[in-house]
A and B are shown apart, each in its own frame.
Chain A
Amino acid sequence: MAYEKRGLRPFDALDRTQAKLRQMVRVQSPPIPDGFQPPLGLLGVTLVGVSKGSIAAHGGTLLLDRDEYMSAPVGLYFGVNDDDWLDLTNTVGYELDEVFGSRSTAPVNVVVTVANARLKQVHQVINLSFNDWVNESWRHRLAKGGDNKNRPRPLRMPDDGCTIWVQFLLNSDLPRSQRVLGRPWRKGSWLARAEVRVSAGRGTGLAPRPLNSETRARFGLGKYTSTFVEMRGDLSGLCMTTDLSQFLTVYIDDELLHGAAEMNDRGDHVRGAGAALIGRWVMDTYRALIYGYSRDDQLDDFDPAIDEHKQTYLYSLLSQIEDANLVGIDEALLILRDNPTQFAGLIEHVLAMKASDQSLLELRR
């Protein structure tokens, strides 16, 4: 059992494949029309909810309307053109040659599954040997349009949402002669993987929606407003939820967001002010959320010791403050109750420690 020790990751065997896969995998609905290429700078960014229909990269969420979720075609893409495809397949092939001696005999399959976590349902939609996969193209169809019975079952369940996994798996146990200490050898070992969530409005609820002329008119905002958090209802129970979208919606100027989020292929912001702007939007959003918590009449009932409360978004904030060695969870909760602006100060420190604060707005994780 030595090979299954905690800490040894299977993708150590194919680390370049892992990096390339995560850079290139995208899920999009509706699928890309022939000949269209999204701007290259947006490849590394998950544009959750920025435009109708959606595109999501590894770690992101494809956000669809309820009807779209159940009936829209969904495409899976490895890059955006034939050159990307060649780059990816060459990288994988080269690493398979290195690890298994020959790419043509490497016992590796590309497997794509769609999973509903609550109902524990995993549906396989693609299972191709490496040799068959390289003969395909960079475009794959995961689901056809229309309310069809062949649609993967989790893609017919909009309330739960689902996760699409793209994995390189060993398709059989390696013969003893080929086993190397520290490398995976069992059938099913994942050598590289990427994941994209698909949601019909759930998630944390912090994914931004476009602030455009239509939404500005709806909320009576001026043209220089770049971000706005809509709060709904009396906010009772906000602290007890994992799905903030029941209570609030974040709007960000879509043009500014695209510009600020644009990155080059090294993952750096193309525009110098991009990171700072996003940081400001993130903190604005969190200040609004903290204001909401402070008005929640159930905040006094929140108890970090109760298992169920540990599933909430608020608990994740409290535990991040504790992880940052500022104060413990109980004290952080007291601060939120007694002095929300001080709590916002703690959060600002926590956010600044993140490698990428964009992750907090589900732009990129």
Chain B
Amino acid sequence: MTHPRLSRNDVREFIDTVVINDPDDTAVKGFLIGKEIDDSKFTNRPLDAAVASLLDDCKDQRNSALEVIEARHSGNVYVAIERFGDEALGDEEFWSYLAVRYFWRFISYRQASAWRSAQGEPSDPEEPESEKAKLERYLRGHDHYQIPLRMYLRAQAVRDGDDYALTDIDGGGTDFWRSQVLGVRTGAYPSLARSVARAQSLAQLNVEDQRPPGRRVNRLRANLDFILHGDAEAAAAIDGLWMVTDDDAARAGVKKTEKASKAAARKSAKTR
């Protein structure tokens, strides 16, 4: 095994000793040197360029614009990361290294609240540890929460050859990708992922409204393997699923009423 890697404890150490001190590139490099990571054979100029371009686009942007920027750059990041060997890509600790080495600054912008929390300024003073744990999740290559991995997975899921247009569909916010594509096995079947992304692009359902159709797609996928499906067949299979049905609307209405009455009960209990 020759590729650079950072263990979970290394990531924690990075948060506790580097993030906390408002780092710059030199501090991050120093941390990697301290971990005796020799990545001289793992240079990746396309990734350097992709990340530089990503950071360039982030300049002077509000946090709300970063989701679109992340989406737009997913294709470039995917292409660059694909240059690393399979053995490295199949190691979550290599991805943790990628996050620290290349993406730490983007993570500090994109997940600013978790980043600040790790620096001792939690947005919710009652939950400092939970915010910090979130930052660890954005840095560790364990699952689709991690920033470079989720960019890679998003592009991989919906790319059509060299065309990455579906990575930044209208209406495809963070929750859509995390809950409906990358966090479920839909992301493993590109024809299905593309069909769901296209359907969401047309329907532009909000997060709450995505849940019932998301469940319908998951249920369908539990019984079907989409390995044999082309795009047209996958689209036909989910035809009529990605929408808010009368039943969904009625259930959402009941839930809203229940929520409102619970909130009212809590309020009245407090005032008593």
Contact = CB atoms under 8 A, between A and B. Distances in A.
For the residues of B in contact with A, the DSSP-based class is helix
A6 B223 CA distance: 9
Given A120-B157, A124-B227, A157 B185 contact: no
Nearest to B223: A10
A308 B216 CA distance: 26
Given A66-B1, A115-B188, A184-B223, A157 B87 contact: yes
A75 interface: no
A127 B223 contact: no
A171 interface: yes
A286 B257 CA distance: 48
Interface stretch (A137-145, A174-182, A187-195, A257-265): A187-195
Given A70-B87, A157-B90, A308-B133, A120 B228 contact: no
Contact of B225 (A66, A111, A306, A308): A111
Contact of B92 (A5, A109, A160, A308): A160
A4 B220 contact: yes
Contacts of B228: 109, 111, 127, 169, 171, 187-188
A154 B216 contact: no
Interface string A173-212: 0000000000010111110000000000000000000000
A154 B237 contact: no
A359 to B, nearest CB: 22
Name which of B142, B220, B226, B228 has the most chain A CB atoms within 10 A of its CB: B228
A120 B225 contact: no
Interface in B221-239: 223-229, 233, 237
A237 interface: yes
Interface string A20-36: 00000000000000000
A9 B190 CA distance: 24
B130 interface: yes
Interface string A100-136: 0000000001010101111111101001000000000
B68 to A, nearest CB: 23
Given A120-B153, A306-B133, A308-B137, A188 B87 contact: no
A166 to B, nearest CB: 11
Contacts of A306: 130, 133
B227 A119 contact: no
A121 B1 CA distance: 22
Interface string B92-107: 1100000000000000
A349 to B, nearest CB: 32
A120 B227 contact: no
Contacts of B91: 157, 159-160
B189 interface: yes
A359 B133 CA distance: 32
A332 B172 CA distance: 41
B86 interface: yes
Contact of B223 (A111, A156, A189): A189
Contacts of A70: 87
B90 A1 contact: no
Given A10-B223, A158-B87, A308-B133, A188 B229 contact: yes
B86 A156 contact: yes
B225 A186 contact: no
Nearest to B137: A308
Nearest to A154: B90
B210 interface: no
Given A122-B188, A188-B237, A159 B93 contact: yes
Name which of A1, A111, A120, A121 has the most chain B CB atoms within 10 A of its CB: A120
Name which of A157, A159, A171 has the most chain B CB atoms within 10 A of its CB: A159
Contacts of A10: 223
A310 interface: no
B195 to A, nearest CB: 13
B90 A159 contact: yes
A188 B133 CA distance: 39
B187 interface: yes
Given A154-B90, A159-B91, A188 B225 contact: yes
B140 to A, nearest CB: 9
A82 to B, nearest CB: 29
Contacts of A6: 219
A167 interface: yes
A111 B216 contact: no
A123 to B, nearest CB: 9
A153 interface: yes
B156 interface: yes
Contacts of B93: 159
Contacts of A119: 89-90, 153, 156
B43 interface: no
Interface of A: 1, 4-6, 8-10, 66, 70, 109, 111, 113, 115-122, 124, 127, 153-154, 156-160, 165, 167, 169, 171, 184, 186-190, 237, 306, 308
